[in-house]
Chain A
Amino acid sequence: MRTVDVAIVGAGPAGISAALATAETGARTLLIDENPAVGGHLHWRISQTLTDNAGLPVATGPGPQVAAELETLLASFSNLTLSLNTVAWGLFEDRVLALASEDHAEELQADAIILTTGSTDIAAPFPGWTLPGVLTARAAQTFLHVHRVLPGHHWAILGEGEDADELAGDLARCGVEIVVRHGSVDNFRASGTNRLAHVEIDDDVYEVDALAIAMGRQPDAELAFQAQARGAFVRALGGYTPFRDLNGQTSEVGVYVAGDAAGIATLPELVAEGQLAGKAAAGASDAELTRAQGLLNTVANRPRREAIERSRLTDSLNPS
């Protein structure tokens, strides 16, 4: 079985930050992602890095440009291997990670594993939600910005909050019409024969050809739970999240979770949390860890931080 010092699953902003932190220490690092390029949501949520690089070691710009620069930076480390188009589908005892790509499958063992697996869109059902033309915010952003295809010209947005506002901005930039925005699934339905043609809100009918569900996202930490890490449903963090210590380590020794997978976060927080987990996984000194924890606290978003504190992994939560 192949072995590495640190394996990182998910090459979004948190995973990249973790990988740069471990690679700088000389650790043999493997960074895995199912997509053909590193960058994760920088490729579909393109506006986040326009004016603020959030602590990423590259200049500001549209997400895909930032992602490309980060990929160049990662490639400069000879002790860092990038495994793209690769799905990490299992995490077993003793930090054995199962990987699969188009023509290859293997298990590998790592001294430390960092899960930066991100988030999944929340989609609450409503009448007509399965019609073609109804899609998640992430699908909409992926088709607009990665594939460069318009799912429709006349849009409805369901959901409210930052994700819905971000999508509205993205759609406006693509020059399509936002016909209606609505906050919740109450009294909301989509209709059409074979394909979306209308949304109905109370007694009002709107003609649309695309409907994006932008109701927020939930943490995606399935691999940690598969490895038996302990956790709980924490509403303020967006869903089921693992308990973690100050550095992001779960109840499974050597298994770390950072970024959205540990609770939906802002970009600066993803970056700082990735760096901290990377340093811890690579065995950084206490002084260095304290510094990285301090940095995370300065960028931390208050409600998320407080929720994380409440689900902090302590000895009482982790009886030996």
Chain B
Amino acid sequence: MTDSGDSTVIRGRRLNDHELLGPLPDVEPVEITVDGQSFRARSGEPIAAALMANGIDICRAMPESGESRGVFCGVGRCSDCLMIVDGVLNVRTCVTPVTEGMRVETQHGLGQWEDSQP
């Protein structure tokens, strides 16, 4: 289940070639889940980039208004891209690299910590 609440998913967003930067270098693919659904990412890229490449633009919903937020500053300054990552709240996804098996969730409001493990 993706919780984007959005009907338009924009596709074809990986910039595979670039006239100045050349072809996108090959890197190990990694698999992550976003709200329970599996997606492919490029190892080393930030979570927000992997999400965007897979058509996901919404990172969280504001605590009171419920409005959506996504990448704004892209460089770790604004906190619009906070999500829940492997159970940790308020992770800045624009500057946090993906790792194999990472569990990413849309953060609703302030989010909720998972029950502490015994």
Q: Do A and B come from one complex?
A: yes
A residues contacting B by CB (< 8 A) are 34, 46-47, 50, 62, 64, 120-121, 123, 130-136, 138-140, 142-145, 147-153, 173-174, 193-195, 197, 209
Partner of B71, one of A47, A120, A135: A135
Tell me, rounded to whole Å, the shortest Cβ–Cβ distance linking B34 to chain A: 14
| 11 A-B contacts (beta carbon < 8 Å) | A121-B73, A132-B57, A132-B70, A140-B74, A143-B71, A145-B18, A149-B13, A173-B18, A194-B4, A194-B58, A209-B10
Question: How far apart sit A312 and B8, CA to CA, in the bound complex (Å)?
Answer: 53
Question: How far apart sit A123 and B73, CA to CA, in the bound complex (Å)?
Answer: 10
Mostly helix, strand, loop or mixed at chain A's interface?
Answer: loop
- Tell me whether B70 and A133 are in contact (CB under 8 A): yes
Question: How far apart sit A209 and B5, CA to CA, in the bound complex (Å)?
Answer: 16
Question: How far apart sit A194 and B9, CA to CA, in the bound complex (Å)?
Answer: 12
Chain B positions within 8 Å of A152 at CB level: 10
* Number of A-B residue pairs at CB separation under 8 A: 103
- Listed from nearest, the 9 A-B pairs whose CB atoms lie closest are A139-B74, A132-B70, A147-B49, A148-B15, A132-B57, A150-B13, A62-B20, A194-B68, A149-B53
Tell me, rounded to whole Å, the shortest Cβ–Cβ distance linking B107 to chain A: 13
- Tell me whether B57 and A195 are in contact (CB under 8 A): yes
Partner of B15, one of A62, A131, A135, A174: A174
Chain B positions within 8 Å of A47 at CB level: 20
Chain A positions within 8 Å of B59 at CB level: 132
Chain B positions within 8 Å of A197 at CB level: 8
Chain A positions within 8 Å of B100 at CB level: none
Chain B positions within 8 Å of A151 at CB level: 13, 52, 71
Partner of A139, one of B18, B19, B45, B73: B73
The chain A residue with its CB closest to the CB of B6 is: A194
Mostly helix, strand, loop or mixed at chain B's interface?
Answer: loop
Number of chain B interface residues as a range:
35 or more
- Tell me whether A130 and B80 are in contact (CB under 8 A): yes
The chain A residue with its CB closest to the CB of B76 is: A34
Q: A147-B46, A149-B15 are in contact. List 7 more A-B contacts (CB 8 A).
A: A64-B21, A133-B70, A143-B52, A148-B16, A149-B52, A149-B53, A209-B8
Chain A positions within 8 Å of B68 at CB level: 131-132, 194-195
Partner of A130, one of B15, B69, B76: B69
B39 at the binding interface (Cβ < 8 Å): no
B67 at the binding interface (Cβ < 8 Å): yes
Chain A positions within 8 Å of B94 at CB level: 139
Contact A120/B4 with A149-B52, A152-B10 known, Cβ cut-off 8 Å: no
The chain B residue with its CB closest to the CB of A62 is: B20
Question: How far apart sit A73 and B49, CA to CA, in the bound complex (Å)?
Answer: 30
The chain B residue with its CB closest to the CB of A150 is: B13
Tell me, rounded to whole Å, the shortest Cβ–Cβ distance linking B54 to chain A: 9
Tell me, rounded to whole Å, the shortest Cβ–Cβ distance linking A117 to chain B: 12
- Tell me whether A194 and B5 are in contact (CB under 8 A): yes
Question: How far apart sit A47 and B8, CA to CA, in the bound complex (Å)?
Answer: 32
The chain B residue with its CB closest to the CB of A136 is: B73
Mark interface residues in B17-38 (1 if CB within 8 Å of A CB, else 0). Answer: 0111100100000000000000
- Tell me whether B20 and A46 are in contact (CB under 8 A): yes
B40 at the binding interface (Cβ < 8 Å): no
Question: How far apart sit A174 and B76, CA to CA, in the bound complex (Å)?
Answer: 24
Question: How far apart sit A153 and B6, CA to CA, in the bound complex (Å)?
Answer: 17
Question: How far apart sit A195 and B44, CA to CA, in the bound complex (Å)?
Answer: 27
Chain A positions within 8 Å of B69 at CB level: 130, 132
Question: How far apart sit A195 and B16, CA to CA, in the bound complex (Å)?
Answer: 25
